[in-house]
Chains A and B, each alone.
Chain A
């Protein structure tokens, strides 16, 4: 009983620390969690939409910029967390060398921190949906927490592995950045799996666990519908990744203090 209470306390305090520290000394503070994905959406809208001329296919009733917003916010959470967690053990080397707390709490707090930032930006997504005359639906009520759960488990699982491996193989931090770039284009963010040009190799894209997840977000926001199929797929990937992540972590954690 004390063990559970203790770890809840530890995770709470670490997450609080992350929240406090992230935007310390920046004038716009928390606003950045909203401005960042919005700015990215703006960049892609100008680059792809205006210059290259990417159009949403006929039959889909949403503008391109709205598609971008629906995918970029969850993507931002995922990529920020994976990037930060890759360095989380190296950044806390002095603690790891001296204090024997459960190592997983560090990536966990990092992912929770980004989850909070994502959660506070949901009203902004909703605002843009309303601007584009999308009506709120009942599906949002249960779709949101279910998709957040799937994304949380998926993000945390990958973070466990990158954080642990990075201690033994420091080049990983650079590789992760390239990998994330690649993953971004393999994931339906600047397009949708439902577009006819994409639908042909839809099944190949769904090999990427993140594709089912972000596709679920797009369906929820743009169609007001919860896609059970996409969620089940994302959740399935997440559970497998969590098992694998915990296994790898368990194998390596005993040597963390030697290599930090």
Chain B
């Protein structure tokens, strides 16, 4: 048994809510001591001593209501955020699958965006160029590949983004609710590609509200609720409990609308 690809040991992540500064610099300065004290105490705990492991080649689904800490967990794995406490170990090259066109510049063509995106995600220029043909072919964009990305439909953007990541040889792939793009045929193709990643031994963390997709792609699932692990088990069992709780109307906690979690 090799070392797990991802290890979270009592990981805590809190965000400081900067209401006071946003509320006006004057208020902030005139009540400086109180403001600073409030700033320090006014924290939102996105993840609270969360521990889990993902074995190499395993796919873990992460489910839960908005604000439960799913995206925070992904950002911590991607090393975009640093934890306030606890330890995170990630072994292998981590790649995020970005949501619709997030990494693309609208004025550049599809082809130019592929190269820029590939380099941003960690490849050398020549490595991206060597894969350019495959990426373009997979995206099925045809002659649109030399048109500015702003002319693309949502489905086309999704296809381009997915095609890039699919060909970058990730060892750990982070997927944050992006499979709902494109037409049915393309979704099926993405699902197949996900399965192919699985067969190739790519470790996956899959955040989704689509319980069916979680069951199909992931062996195990983690249910996060207000920053804590509520359940971590086989994906069938976890999604079933979550759906039951949703039906019972008790899964949605109070969620601050800060857009971070």
Determine the chain A residues whose CB is within 8 A of the CB of B18 once the complex forms.
168, 259
Q: Is the CB of A24 closer than 8 A to any CB of chain B?
A: yes
- Interface of chain B residues 57 through 81 with chain A (CB within 8 A): 75, 78-81
User: Contacts A100-B78, A171-B25, A258-B81 hold; do A94 and B103 have CB atoms under 8 A apart?
Assistant: yes
Q: Is the CB of A98 closer than 8 A to any CB of chain B?
A: yes
Q: Are A21 and B107 in contact (CB under 8 A)?
A: yes
Determine the chain B residues whose CB is within 8 A of the CB of A21 once the complex forms.
105, 107-108
Q: How many A-B residue pairs have CB under 8 A?
A: 69
Q: How far is the CB of B111 from chain A (nearest CB, A)?
A: 12
Determine the chain B residues whose CB is within 8 A of the CB of A100 once the complex forms.
78-80, 94
Q: Is the CB of A12 closer than 8 A to any CB of chain B?
A: yes
What residue in chain B is nearest A20 (Cβ atoms)? B108
Q: Are B116 and A97 in contact (CB under 8 A)?
A: no
Q: What CA separation (Å) do A44 and B125 show in the bound complex? A: 45
Q: What CA separation (Å) do A126 and B26 show in the bound complex? A: 50
Interface residues on A, range: 20 to 34
The list of the 8 closest CB pairs from A to B, nearest first, reads A94-B102, A257-B80, A100-B79, A9-B125, A98-B96, A13-B119, A24-B107, A254-B82
Q: Are B80 and A99 in contact (CB under 8 A)?
A: yes
Q: Is the CB of A85 closer than 8 A to any CB of chain B?
A: no
Q: 23 A–B contact pairs at CB < 8 A?
A: A6-B124, A10-B119, A13-B115, A13-B119, A13-B120, A17-B105, A24-B107, A25-B107, A94-B102, A94-B103, A95-B102, A96-B80, A97-B75, A97-B80, A98-B98, A98-B103, A99-B80, A99-B120, A100-B94, A257-B75, A257-B80, A258-B15, A258-B81
Q: What CA separation (Å) do A25 and B148 show in the bound complex? A: 12
Determine the chain A residues whose CB is within 8 A of the CB of B120 once the complex forms.
10, 13, 95, 99, 101
User: Contacts A20-B108, A24-B107 hold; do A169 and B75 have CB atoms under 8 A apart?
Assistant: no
User: Contacts A98-B96, A169-B21 hold; do A12 and B125 have CB atoms under 8 A apart?
Assistant: yes
Q: Are B79 and A2 in contact (CB under 8 A)?
A: no
Q: Is the CB of B121 closer than 8 A to any CB of chain A?
A: yes
Interface of A is mostly: helix
Q: Are B121 and A17 in contact (CB under 8 A)?
A: no
Q: How far is the CB of B154 from chain A (nearest CB, A)?
A: 15
Q: How far is the CB of B64 from chain A (nearest CB, A)?
A: 19
Q: Are B119 and A5 in contact (CB under 8 A)?
A: no
Q: Is the CB of A14 closer than 8 A to any CB of chain B?
A: yes
What residue in chain B is nearest A94 (Cβ atoms)? B102
Q: Are A17 and B125 in contact (CB under 8 A)?
A: no
Q: What CA separation (Å) do A101 and B25 show in the bound complex? A: 32
Q: What CA separation (Å) do A258 and B80 show in the bound complex? A: 9
User: Contacts A13-B125, A17-B108 hold; do A257 and B81 have CB atoms under 8 A apart?
Assistant: yes
Contact pattern, B 94-120, Cβ under 8 Å of A = 1, otherwise 0: 101010001101011000100110011
Q: Is the CB of B122 closer than 8 A to any CB of chain A?
A: yes
User: Contacts A254-B82, A258-B81 hold; do A99 and B96 have CB atoms under 8 A apart?
Assistant: yes
- Residues in chain A within 8 A of chain B (CB atoms): 2, 5-6, 9-10, 12-14, 17, 20-21, 24-25, 94-101, 168-169, 171, 254, 257-259
Q: Is the CB of B250 closer than 8 A to any CB of chain A?
A: no
Determine the chain A residues whose CB is within 8 A of the CB of B15 once the complex forms.
258
Q: Are B103 and A258 in contact (CB under 8 A)?
A: no
Q: Are B78 and A14 in contact (CB under 8 A)?
A: no
Most buried by B among A5, A14, A20, A98: A98
Q: How far is the CB of A12 from chain B (nearest CB, A)?
A: 7
Q: Are B112 and A17 in contact (CB under 8 A)?
A: yes
- Interface of chain B residues 6 through 57 with chain A (CB within 8 A): 15, 18, 21, 25
What residue in chain A is nearest B103 (Cβ atoms)? A95
Q: How far is the CB of B88 from chain A (nearest CB, A)?
A: 12
Determine the chain B residues whose CB is within 8 A of the CB of A169 once the complex forms.
21
Determine the chain A residues whose CB is within 8 A of the CB of B81 once the complex forms.
257-258
Q: What CA separation (Å) do A258 and B258 show in the bound complex? A: 11
Q: How far is the CB of A22 from chain B (nearest CB, A)?
A: 10
Q: What CA separation (Å) do A17 and B15 show in the bound complex? A: 33
Most buried by A among B98, B107, B119, B121: B119
Q: Are B119 and A98 in contact (CB under 8 A)?
A: no
Q: Known pairs A20-B107, A98-B75, A101-B122; list 8 more (Cβ under 8 Å).
A: A95-B103, A97-B80, A99-B80, A99-B96, A99-B120, A101-B120, A257-B75, A257-B81
Q: What CA separation (Å) do A5 and B81 show in the bound complex? A: 25
Q: What CA separation (Å) do A31 and B125 show in the bound complex? A: 30
